[in-house]
Amino acid sequence: MEGETSWNSHCADDMSKDIGEFDSFSELSDEGNKETIISVDSIVPDDLLERILAYLPIASIFRAGSVCRRWHEIVSSKRFLWNFSHVLSQKPWYFMFTSSDEPVGYAYDPILRKWYSIELPCIQTPNWFIASSCGLVCFMDNDSRSELHVCNPITKICKKLQEPPGMKFSDYSALSLSVSRTSHNYKISIVKSKQVPGNFLQWDLSIHIYDSETMMWATSLTEVLTGWRGGDESVICDGVLYFLIYSTGVGTPENRHSLVTYNLSSRSSPLIRSLIPVPGPLTCGRLMDLKGKLVMVGGIGKPDRPDIIKGIGIWVLNGRNWVEVGRMPHKFFQGFGELDDVFASSGTDNLIYIQSYGAPALLVFDMNQKLWKWSLKCPVSKKFPLQLFTGFCFEPRLEFAP
């Protein structure tokens, strides 16, 4: 199918463009009439070849490892991983689930504009909670919310974490992951929320943090919120945990959502003091960390019907104020067809992906260029009216391991 490529059998044409030019060249001998073929591979030292290969797209690096034994040893070496981590960052990929029951789907590479059929380790169903950072992805089951795995979806290296503390069956949970690019250590946060029995307005909320350095969980905060409940949206950005809370019926439509900031170092409380209003009535909000800045993609509600979406906006948090940096043009908004008031969106580096739950269409927004662009069509079509699609963004990295 057009645009689809198996992860282990990339197109030879791509590699001929990437590495074919380095394969060999011709040279005249001293006699001037005899041509000698000299292989560049035989004269280029390992350290230079490592740097050349490190600049290839990650899909091409995997194929380069199949060229010969020498290249395989190079791309598998620790020195190559160090070189790879210091070149220009790979553009983030987007994995789209194509089944409501099985964790199967395709990953989109925005550099080569190709979809790859890859298998995700650990995850059992697409409705698991998912968070990603710096090449690692964290999965948490959606039943007991006590089974967690951290993995690298490219190398397939996976680690199961011990069960987190706190209430086992919470009404709402929000998962986030933050990986240090220097130390490769990571933190995982789970914000759990459960209604106080017999009291609709009050909700128990707790924050639990896992530190890969100590390999232990800690309950960082427990608090009772009045008039607000937790949700399923959170992100760790520059040492601060951000998560959205939702009104339980008190207040105007403009106050249906609010943002909580929680510093993981100072652990400030009570949470109600750190509330930041969202920029107007939103149907939903999606939080992400783009180069140390908190970004929110939100569905803009109609003034008279805030639960009905009329557009999608993108904001960056500056201090305690939101700055709008983009609004989806109407032609792209219409291109989704019938867009629900909630949708999937995630991003990292300078790319934001937006996807409707009702169709496999994927829209990409470049924060640097302020450019909207459809991805190459995903090699799957909608088979029945209630079929749902969702996905997540991750960085394709080789050097990170849980």
| Cα(242)–Cα(176) distance, integer angstroms | 9
> Which pLDDT score, from 0 to 100, does residue 221 have?
92
Which tokens sit at 30?
């001293």
Last residue of a domain, one of 61, 84, 107: 84
Closest by CA to 314, choosing from 265, 276, 279, is: 279
Position 39 in a domain: no
Looking at the structure, do residues 390 and 276 belong to the same domain, yes or no? yes
Q: In this structure, what CATH number is given to the domain that contains residue 141?
A: 2.120.10.80
Quote the pLDDT of residue 131.
97
SS3 362: strand
Q: Which residue has the higher pLDDT, 287 or 181?
A: 287
Band (358; pLDDT cuts 50, 70, 90)? confident
Other Cβ atoms closer than 10 A to 335: 16
Instruction: Tell me, yes or no, whether 59 and 95 share the same domain.
Output: no
Q: Is the pLDDT of residue 143 over 80?
A: yes
Query: Could you read off the pLDDT of 73-88 as tens digits, one per residue?
Result: 777 776 766 666 666 5
Residue 365 pLDDT more than 70? Answer: yes
Any domain includes 192: yes
* Domain count along the chain: 2
- Residue 225: which of 267, 165, 282, 275 has the closest Cα? 275
Q: How far is CA 68 from the centre of its chain?
A: 33
In this prediction, residue 26 carries a pLDDT of: 38
Q: How confident is the model at residue 355 (pLDDT cuts 50, 70, 90)?
A: very high
pLDDT in tens, 261-300: 999 988 777 787 788 999 988 999 999 999 999 999 999 9
Final residue of a domain: which of 35, 67, 84?
84
Could you tell me if 72 and 135 lie in one domain?
Answer: no
17 is a domain residue? no
Q: Do 142 and 80 share a structural domain? A: no
Same domain, 107 and 151: yes
Say yes or no: 287 and 255 in one domain: yes
Q: How far apart are CA 184 and CA 159, in angstroms?
A: 14
Parent domain of 339: 89-394
Residue with more model confidence, 117 or 233: 233
> Which pLDDT score is estimated for 6?
55
Q: Tell whether 66 and 131 lie within a shared domain.
A: no
Calculate the average pLDDT of the chain: 83
Mean per-residue pLDDT, 160-189: 92
Residues 171, 105: one domain? yes
Say if residue 143 is in the same domain as residue 70.
Answer: no
113 and 95 share one domain = yes
Residue 173 and residue 231 in contact, taking contact as beta carbons nearer than 8 Å: no
Burial class of residue 101, CB neighbours in 10 A (0-12, 13-18, 19+): exposed
Percentage of the chain modeled with pLDDT above 90:
51
- pLDDT-derived band at 254, boundaries 50, 70, 90: low
pLDDT of residue 237: 96
Whether the predicted pLDDT of 325 surpasses 50: yes
Q: Over 90: is that where the pLDDT of 373 sits?
A: yes
Contact 179, 136 (CB under 8 A): yes
What integer is the mean pLDDT of 60-67? Answer: 71
In the predicted structure, residue 389 carries a pLDDT above the cut 70: yes
pLDDT at position 23 is: 42
Cis peptide bond N-terminal to 270, omega within 30: yes
Is the same domain home to 241 and 360?
yes
What Cα–Cα distance (Å) separates residue 20 from each residue in 24, 39, 62, 67?
8, 11, 15, 11
> How far apart are alpha carbons 294 and 350 in whole angstroms?
12
Per-residue model confidence (pLDDT) at position 67 = 74
Stretch among 46-60, 118-132, 189-203 having the lowest mean pLDDT: 46-60
Number of H helices and number of E strands within the chain? Answer: 7, 27
State residue 264's pLDDT score: 92
pLDDT, tens digit, 9 for 90 and up, residues 195-224: 999 888 899 999 999 999 999 999 999 999
Per-residue pLDDT at 25? 35
Report the run of H or E that residue 258 belongs to, with start and end: strand 257-263
Listed residues 56, 84, 112: the one ending a domain? 84
Asked whether residue 38 is assigned to any structural domain, the reply reads no
Local confidence band at 397 (pLDDT 50, 70, 90 cut-offs): confident
3-class DSSP state of 52:
helix
Give the pLDDT mean for 349-374: 94
Residue with structure tokens 């949206």? 233
298: which strand partners?
Answer: 285, 313
Would you say residue 296 lies in a domain?
yes
Rounded CA-CA distance 321/302 in Å is 22
Asked if residue 304 is part of any domain, the answer here is yes
| Residue 174 in this model has a pLDDT that exceeds 70 | yes
Residue 5, in any domain of the structure: no
Domain assignment present for 3: no
Give residue 369's pLDDT. Answer: 94
Backbone φ and ψ of 47, nearest 5°: -65, -35
Quote the pLDDT of residue 29: 42
For residues 290 and 239, state if they share a domain: yes
Please tell me whether residue 39 adopts helix, strand or coil conformation. strand
